[in-house]
A and B are shown apart, each in its own frame.
Chain A
Amino acid sequence: MKLLVALEDTGSLKEIECLRGTDTSVQTAKQPISIVNHAVESRATHILKFLVTSDSKYLVAARKGGDIVVYERDTFEEVKRYTNMTANESSNFVSLIQDSTNLIYSCCENGVVSVIDLNTLNHDDNDTQQPTNLQLTGPVSCFVLNPNQTGIFAYGGKENEIKVISITNGKLEQLWESKNVSLDHLRLPVPVWISGINFLNTDSAKGQTGYHLLAISRYGHIRVYKTWLKRRPVKNFQPTTKSLRTLTHTSTNLYAVCSDSAGLVGKFSLKDGKMVGKYHGSVGFVRALYNYRHSVIATGGLDRYVRVYDLDTCRILANVFVTSQVTDIIMLEDGEKLMEEKMIRKEKEREQAVEEAEALWEELENNSSTRKKKKL
């Protein structure tokens, strides 16, 4: 498998190549094939968010201090640097997204959204390369794109309810806004701090004409919204009191995978909100969670380890020490050939087991016949 990891201490990106079963904590286990450092800068300008463009030509990195840098994916040579994209230095990037039309959207904590058109990247005219800026209602803690619909986004933050918006030709329009849950048993409003949103699949044939949203909060809530039904969540769970920070979900939309600020990465059922699985190993806060084709997840955080897990079984597939705290992670490949090899090996083992079992039964039958004779 191949992973790209953004590191805080070195301000760089590390490209990791390893096989399934790699574990740097065990001397006798498989070790990573290669770990290479790229795009080194300083801790003051470390990468907060990054993405690899869909054509794998560029790598776009949002750095602390407000710079967005476009690198060549293969050589990691700097192509273009956009400066002062956060409006003020204390505000950090919370999101960096590419849509299907080759537009890059970056969003900061203060609600500034910058739109960069990658199609105009190589043009000499500087004016066309200037990003378009939009202003969301701040503060923003998460900003996500609807993978099924171009130009539809959702965001939320501290005391900032979930808002679904559309951005078309540089114009922003609010389509929907959630409403806070009812007052608690003390008749006090429940605090809001949306920290992660996912768009779930909808079925228009069943009359699901709006957006199906999954959200987490820094107060430990997991909520499901169906915008065609009501503004309040249709499901609301609080499986933990710790702050939930990162979110992804399984392909069946039945489970949410979240990490909290104390190092837990868990799989939560969206039926009853209970934790049904735990991704073991992490000691510190898991800051980055990447869902690779709904089959494996890659995690990285403050404990300086990158871990890869099977999404369904929660089994750890790789554990690599990367010497620095991780801020963001992307999984590029998951060695499909290896998977095939594994499948072949498993089949062989199964066949062998069947053969052994048959041999054992035969032996038992022979033994039982001899015993009968003795009895007679």
Chain B
Amino acid sequence: MAPDKPIRVRNRLRRKELFAKYKDERNKRRHEERAERAKEELENPELKAKRLAENVPNTIESMRVFDETVNAELEGTDEFSEYFENTDKDPKVLVTTSENPKKNGLIFAKMLQDFLPGSVFVERKEKYTMKDMASYCSNRQFSDLIVVNEDKNKVTGITFIHLPTGPTFYFSVTNIIESKKIAGHGNPTSHIPELILNNFSTRLGQTVGRLFQSLFPHRPQFQGRQVVTLHNQRDFIFFRRHRYKFKNEKRVGLQELGPQFTMKLRRVQKGIREEIDWEHKPSMDRDKKKFYL
């Protein structure tokens, strides 16, 4: 912050010196004020609560454009209702890749298979389209089909098809970090993980949340202490996997297991890739405070 009175000294070095002095004084004054305030607030904690209540900083999330669908109650049933009603039946997921997969596509498909309990990887054959695969999977009682999309040896997207009647979701995928590249990572076990879904609040977000929920079995194995987190922030979905460790009665530590990747919803289609339910358009990014999930 500039001084109240501009420093009108023509010598540049002298002017700089004076400005440094001014800054130093200002910092000292601020520190003193803060120390004094801390002292007052220690004696009277109400003052601190009042100050914090008054000075809430604005964030993009807090300035979010009003959306009437946020936390709206789900009316009736949707395509995922069977999973939530029939809690004895665990999901059965088939993972495959796009045609002619390269190394990275196969590695990513293996990663997905690793953290999705009850999933099977099947090599993609060129002669089968997505609709063919969906019908074969439905006939074999699979509940979901996941297709990893890869372009020039780089994983670019994932398609989730909920079987037998859809819907179909397409997410773009970025920032994939394998487990072995995460410093201090742990090794996962085959226990069914717990699932944390954060901030899927709009009606569309709830549908996406229900999709992820329907990929995991109903009853996690708590002895494995593994947690899969899907955190939505500004329509980017961050995937993380951790193991928690009870250090003592009060403290809990986290060990990351990996992998890490970020997804962004691009398209939701009714049925098996039929009519568009929702599609991301570049114009949707124009308003930085409008979120869809």
Contacts and interface: CB of A to CB of B under 8 A. Distances in A.
Interface stretch (A23-31, A94-102, A229-237): A23-31
A301 to B, nearest CB: 8
Nearest to B81: A43
B212 to A, nearest CB: 20
A242 to B, nearest CB: 9
A240 interface: no
B77 A261 contact: no
A284 B276 contact: yes
Given A7-B76, A321-B69, A285 B276 contact: yes
Contacts of A9: 74-78
B136 interface: no
Contacts of A24: 68
Nearest to A323: B75
Contact of A262 (B75, B203, B279): B279
B24 interface: no
Interface in B71-117: 72-78, 81
Contacts of A330: none
B75 A285 contact: no
A11 interface: yes
A302 B68 contact: no
A285 B275 contact: yes
A42 B77 contact: yes
Contacts of A12: 76
B279 A261 contact: no
Contacts of B279: 262-263, 283-284
Contact of B277 (A7, A27, A302): A302
Contact of B275 (A11, A26, A27, A261): A261
A324 B277 contact: no
Contact of A263 (B67, B69, B274, B276): B276
B277 A285 contact: yes
Interface in B259-279: 268, 270, 274-279
A42 B78 CA distance: 10
Nearest to B281: A283
B85 to A, nearest CB: 12
Most B CB within 10 A of own CB, among A12, A283, A303, A324: A283
B75 A324 contact: yes
Interface in B18-68: 66-68
A49 interface: no
Contacts of B78: 9, 43
A304 B277 CA distance: 10
A114 interface: no
A25 B277 contact: no
A75 B278 CA distance: 35
Given A262-B279, A263-B279, A321-B68, A10 B75 contact: yes
A305 B73 CA distance: 15
A323 B206 CA distance: 12
Interface string A224-265: 000000000000000000000100000000000000011100
Interface residues of A, number: 26
A12 B76 CA distance: 9
A1 to B, nearest CB: 19
B281 to A, nearest CB: 9
Contacts of B268: 284
Most B CB within 10 A of own CB, among A8, A25, A245, A284: A284
A283 B76 contact: no
Contacts of B203: 304, 323
A315 B66 CA distance: 22
Nearest to B77: A43
B275 A302 contact: yes
A302 B279 CA distance: 12
A297 to B, nearest CB: 19
Contacts of A43: 76-78, 81
Interface in B154-195: none
Nearest to A27: B66
Contact of B270 (A42, A245, A285): A285
Interface string A10-23: 11100000000000
B43 to A, nearest CB: 42
B136 to A, nearest CB: 19
A184 B285 CA distance: 40
Nearest to A322: B75
B274 A261 contact: yes
A245 B72 CA distance: 30
A307 to B, nearest CB: 14
A130 B276 CA distance: 39
Nearest to A12: B76
Contacts of B76: 7-12, 42-43, 324
A284 B277 contact: yes
Contacts of B75: 7, 9-10, 323-324
Contacts of B72: 321, 323
Contact of B278 (A8, A261, A283): A283
Given A9-B75, A302-B270, A324-B76, A25 B275 contact: no
B252 to A, nearest CB: 39
A164 to B, nearest CB: 29
A268 B116 CA distance: 48
Task: List the 5 closest pairs (A to B, CB-CB), nearest first.
Answer: A10-B76, A9-B76, A285-B275, A261-B275, A302-B277
Given A25-B67, A27-B66, A261-B275, 13 more contacts: A9-B76, A25-B68, A42-B76, A43-B77, A43-B81, A261-B276, A262-B279, A263-B279, A285-B276, A287-B275, A302-B270, A302-B275, A324-B75
29 contacts: A7-B75, A7-B76, A8-B76, A9-B75, A9-B76, A10-B76, A25-B68, A27-B66, A43-B76, A43-B77, A43-B78, A261-B274, A262-B279, A263-B279, A283-B278, A284-B275, A284-B278, A284-B279, A285-B276, A287-B275, A302-B276, A302-B277, A302-B278, A304-B69, A321-B68, A321-B72, A323-B73, A324-B75, A324-B76
